[in-house]
Amino acid sequence: MTDPSRPPICVLGLGLIGGSLLRAAARAGRAGFGYNRSAEGAAAARAAGFDADTDLDAVLRRAAEEYALVVLATPATTLDDLLPVVARLAPECVLTDVVSVKESVADAVARLHPGARYVGGHPMAGTSQSGWAATDPDLFDGAMWMVTTEDGTDPDDWLTVAALARDCGAQVVPAANDAHDRAVAAISHLPHLTADATAAVGAGESGLALRLAAGSFRDGTRVAGTAPALQRAMLEANRIALLNTLSETIDRLTVARDELRDRGSVEIIVDDGHRARLAYDVMASTPAPPIVDVEPGEQGWAAEMRRQAHLGHTWQR
Amino acid sequence: MTDPSRPPICVLGLGLIGGSLLRAAARAGRAGFGYNRSAEGAAAARAAGFDADTDLDAVLRRAAEEYALVVLATPATTLDDLLPVVARLAPECVLTDVVSVKESVADAVARLHPGARYVGGHPMAGTSQSGWAATDPDLFDGAMWMVTTEDGTDPDDWLTVAALARDCGAQVVPAANDAHDRAVAAISHLPHLTADATAAVGAGESGLALRLAAGSFRDGTRVAGTAPALQRAMLEANRIALLNTLSETIDRLTVARDELRDRGSVEIIVDDGHRARLAYDVMASTPAPPIVDVEPGEQGWAAEMRRQAHLGHTWQR
């Protein structure tokens, strides 16, 4: 192994994200193998030429032998069962995850694998599909991949996780766990709830309404098609941040209703929404500036990275 | 003119919908011409080979001479100025519109052009773009196009409007104006308000949040990018129906917030939303059955067409 930040990867859970990650890493020439609970999923991965097994103990023993980077890619609800096994069989491996909410995963790791060399991660990519059949080696190309960057984060382990994100085609967004969780509540979890509500109201109106539904309904409710168990695991794990953002949304819609009822106007909500979408369009259509003038391990590196990330910069090395 | 249901078309307003309609009709071999208030828009249409003018009176005199089908394709807020001119210069022409909300247009027609041979229409197609530059002759291919089908609707005029929709590549959905307005409040106007609120909350969180925004935010807020004046004209014209559907949405989100706060669960809203989206997916992925066993002009034809449309069937002749 010539590059210490690029060990083999061991992916636990070969669904949409975990399976795509194994394929994306292989595309970049990284060695890797995986575990999947269901025999069907493991067989599908093997049929596609990947090294996949349903024997968790065997997979983790091999990870320990190869000093692999272990990637938790199973639903958040499974971590309480999984982490003690990782702690027992692969305690020295660098550990990351691709689970949405970061504070709850960090809490579980601290509780069940307290000595872990853990650096959290969250690739901002996905579809409403799930399972190995939906995996795509290009899923992360150009995506943002949050990597936990706290004042106590080990810089070598951070570089190991960041290299995985880069090898998968993503840009690295350094962030503290709590800031990440508030951000994804606003731009990922809330959109699931508004999509769910919009879908339910639209479908409840009439068969005529569903027949007339076009682009605004199709796009606005797309993520309501995500498997309910996945939506619930993601949203319920981020309860506090989601409550805040949901309350703000209810407040905005209530003001809009009152304005529409009393003045016949939707000016405020439309103007605010339009301005916000334009701000997003500008950011999405502009290449992210690279994080510069800071190296992992330098004095204050984590705080400086977070500062630049808050300006919209990303780690691109 | 060999087919009495296919006269030349006269489009008033050559923006996204009106301009696309002129181009789609031309693609089908229909003669047509148009009016646009701005010289830039008219010049752009002429540059693309279409017959467009900024002289409203001249355009309408020509429509009267050619017994053209006049299509109102300007924002709803302009109808009070436009309709008296249509009534004065082209009173005998069959008249339709492509404005979203149907009851308010029908009211304006009854008030300002009481003798009109008016049959309303609403093509369910659009993008967040506007203006001639965004027009597309294929915009309506496979789209649903509501055509007003009331008990008093003239069957020949109905067939004239339905033929335009068919020539543009759309399927015809016969509906009463009030049922249409309730339906579009639920599947088009409400999704604009939820997109607006979701965009505003997401963008207000942090630069980090906008950088992390991915598919759920992008798709869920797309229509917030529609020009505010267009959103307002459309939504405010459908005030009563939109108030009902918005109140139901607020209620659903409030129940979700209370469930999340008190029980840590989003089960109800996620399950309802997922079921609704699946129902939409099934309808959207299944060809609409054709309306059968009824001919415009037969005893009770309008009610029978509406009945079949409420089952999701469309007029495909």
Instruction: Convert the pLDDT of each residue in B11-35 to its tens digit.
Output: 999 999 999 999 999 999 999 999 9
The stretch A259-280 carries a mean pLDDT of 97
Q: Is residue B300 part of a domain?
A: yes
Q: Which DSSP helix (H) or strand (E) runs through A12?
A: strand A9-12
What's the pLDDT at A308? 95
Q: Is residue B315 part of a domain?
A: no
Same domain, A116 and A36: yes
Local confidence band at A2 (pLDDT 50, 70, 90 cut-offs): low
Output B284 or B255, whichever has higher pLDDT. Answer: B255
Phi, psi (5° rounding) for residue B136?
-155, 120
Same domain, B157 and B231: no
User: Can you give the residue range of the structural domain that contains B205?
Assistant: 181-285
Same domain, B28 and B135: yes
Q: Is A136 exposed, middle or buried (0-12, 13-18, 19+ CB in 10 A)?
A: middle
Local confidence band at B98 (pLDDT 50, 70, 90 cut-offs): very high
Same domain, B207 and B62: no
Among candidate residues A252, A223, A199, A245, the one with its CA nearest the CA of residue B191? A199
Q: What angle do CA B138, B144, B150 make, to 5 degrees?
A: 135
- Which residues of chain B does A312 touch, with a Cβ-Cβ cutoff of 8 Å? 207-208, 210-211
| Structural domains of chain B, count | 2
Q: Is residue B3 part of a domain?
A: no
A283 → closest Cβ in B210, B243, B284: B210
Same domain, A165 and A44: yes
Q: How distant is the Cα of B91 from the closest Cα of chain A, in angstroms?
A: 31
Query: Percentage of residues in chain B with pLDDT exceeding 70?
Result: 99
User: pLDDT at residue B142 above 60?
Assistant: yes
- Which residues of chain A does B204 touch, with a Cβ-Cβ cutoff of 8 Å? 186, 248, 276
What is the C-alpha to C-alpha distance for residues A251 and A67, in angstroms, rounded to an integer? 50
3-state SS assignment for residue B164:
helix
Average pLDDT of chain B, as a whole number:
95
Angle between helices B239-263 and A239-263 (to 10 degrees): 160
Asked if B205's CB is within 8 angstroms of A191's CB, the reply is no
Same domain, B187 and B121: no
The stretch A157-170 carries a mean pLDDT of 98
Q: Is residue A20 part of a domain?
A: yes
Same domain, B25 and B132: yes
The stretch B180-203 carries a mean pLDDT of 96
Q: Which DSSP helix (H) or strand (E) runs through A148?
A: strand A144-148
Same domain, A137 and A103: yes
Which range, of A170-179, B1-10, B98-107, averages the lowest pLDDT? Answer: B1-10
- Which residues of chain B does A314 touch, with a Cβ-Cβ cutoff of 8 Å? 211
What's the pLDDT at B128? 64
User: pLDDT at residue A178 above 80?
Assistant: yes
The stretch B103-108 carries a mean pLDDT of 95
What's the pLDDT at B2? 62
Same domain, A164 and A100: yes
Q: Is residue B4 part of a domain?
A: no
Q: Is residue A199 part of a domain?
A: yes
Respond yes or no on whether ipTM tops 0.85: yes
Q: How distant is the Cα of A182 from the closest Cα of chain B, in angstroms?
A: 8
Average pLDDT of chain A, as a whole number:
95
Same domain, B88 and B149: yes
Q: What angle do CA A71, A75, A79 make, to 5 degrees?
A: 70
The stretch B198-222 carries a mean pLDDT of 92
3-state SS assignment for residue B315:
strand
Same domain, B141 and B218: no
Q: In CATH, what number is assigned to the domain containing residue B136?
A: 3.40.50.720
Same domain, A251 and A111: no
For chain B, the helix, strand and coil percentages under 3-state DSSP, each to the nearest 5: 55, 10, 30
pTM of the model: 0.86
Q: Is residue A294 part of a domain?
A: yes
Q: Which positions ≥6 away from B81 have C-beta within 8 Å?
A: none
User: pLDDT at residue A19 above 90?
Assistant: yes
Q: How distant is the Cα of B86 from the closest Cα of chain A, in angstroms?
A: 28
Q: Is residue A256 part of a domain?
A: yes
Q: In CATH, what number is assigned to the domain containing residue A280?
A: 1.10.3660.10
Give the ranges where A117-238 is alpha helix by DSSP (H): 155-167, 177-184, 190-205, 207-212, 215-220, 228-236
What's the pLDDT at A230? 87
